[in-house]
Amino acid sequence: MSLVNNALLILALALFPAQTIAQVCGNEPGFEYFAEGDNRSCIWFRLEEERREEYCLIGCINSACKHTCGECCFDEPDYTFERNGGLEGNCEWVAENANRINRYCVKDATEIRNGRSVRDACPVACDYCFDDITVVDSAAPTPTKSPISSCVDDDEFTFTLPFVEEMRHCDWFKEHKNDARTRKRQERLCDEKEGGIAISSACCAACTPL
């Protein structure tokens, strides 16, 4: 994490409640992005460093997956879990010695406890923070456009138009070069799914608001 991001996190911890910090600095729980044939969460992108370095350069992923992409890293202050033997543990307790870190952060790295893994809720205690990956804006972008300019559409993805039952590719949204018509199409279909895949994920650029 950069010094600037560290300073912002410290300020946020002082000013806002814990649940707000999780929203500002954690991975967005419901976020999905269509990659390698399926909808993927922020956790999937961080499982391999090469994958993380590739996908965190995409604007919408970088924005939604703040922990995965290294923007910030913190332990959930309210997170607790049941330890072996039925006692309660938290991030501070895990960090107290190396045996606990090895037990809960390494050996049981993916075991779900109280809705999530200990490593996911306690990345600082588990030494599971990542280097920051920053999306570099392209030269001379139009300032009125959305900053999510790194999103790309899946050229092979198709979806069904309601009523007419015809298939369309992502470029259908903007084929008329008419902003008003594009917005209407986005409002009608970008929140829908095709075969379990969110159209907004597969057609990330096409569904970016004008």
User: What's the farthest any 2 CA atoms get from each other in the chain?
Assistant: 64
Domain ranges of the chain: 80-121, 158-202
pLDDT band at 163 (very low <50, low <70, confident <90, very high): low
- Both structure tokens of 39: 């909808």
Q: For residue 46, how many C-alpha atoms fall within 13 Å in the half-sphere facing its CB?
A: 24
- Give the residues across from 88 on adjacent strands: 82
Query: So what's the pLDDT on residue 23?
Result: 57
The pLDDT of residue 1 is above 50: no
Which region among 5-9, 57-61, 75-79, 153-157 has the lowest average model confidence (pLDDT)?
A: 5-9
What confidence tens digit (pLDDT) does each residue in 100-134 have? 999 999 888 888 998 889 998 999 999 999 999 98
Residue 117: which H helix or E strand, with range?
A: strand 116-117
- Both structure tokens of 150: 């790194």
